[in-house]
Amino acid sequence: MRGRVTRLVLGTVAALLVAGLPSSVSASDDDEVRKGGSCSGGADWEMRARWDDDNRIEVRGEVDHTTSGRAWSWKIKHNGSVSAQGRAVARGGDFEVRRSLVDLAGTDHCVFRAVKVRTGEVCRGAIDW
């Protein structure tokens, strides 16, 4: 019980730290915006956004350097509401999810968030499109 509480506190602190940390990598060109950083554990995250063929925003969230076979729950939020969510299992040390978001008027705030189910490790990235 104490261990679980400890993990929860550590996870929350780590998530807050991750959320507060600036991205370690940020790149963009006319077609794509790319950001990346470290998760609260040992994994890295990467997030990309670009136009797809249907004039939608294709958002790609990726977690690298993690333990294979471990389950992650993930969410993509669009302007604060959940656009897509699910579970994924890392294969070969990483996993990736892609979803199309509708380009709405004004700035579209897109967030990718993944939580490792077993450890509570949090990966979070955001792109304003």
**Chain contacts with another protein (rule: CB under 8 A):** 54-56, 77-84, 99-105, 108
Between residues 29 and 54, which has the closer beta carbon with respect to another protein? 54
CB of 128 to another protein, least distance (A): 13
Give the pair of three-digit tokens for residue 5: 């509480």
Q: Which residues contact 81 (CB under 8 A, 6 or more apart)?
A: none
CB of 52 to another protein, least distance (A): 11
Between residues 28 and 79, which has the closer beta carbon with respect to another protein? 79
CB of 129 to another protein, least distance (A): 11
Neighbours of 5 (CB within 10 A): 9
Please, what's the b/e burial string for 84-101 (b: 16 or more CB within 10 A of its CB; e: otherwise)? beeebebeeebbebebbb
Please name the amino acid found at residue 70: R
CB of 59 to another protein, least distance (A): 9
Between residues 65 and 75, which has the closer beta carbon with respect to another protein? 75
Between residues 58 and 64, which has the closer beta carbon with respect to another protein? 58
Torsion of CA 86, 87, 88, 89, to 10 degrees: 180
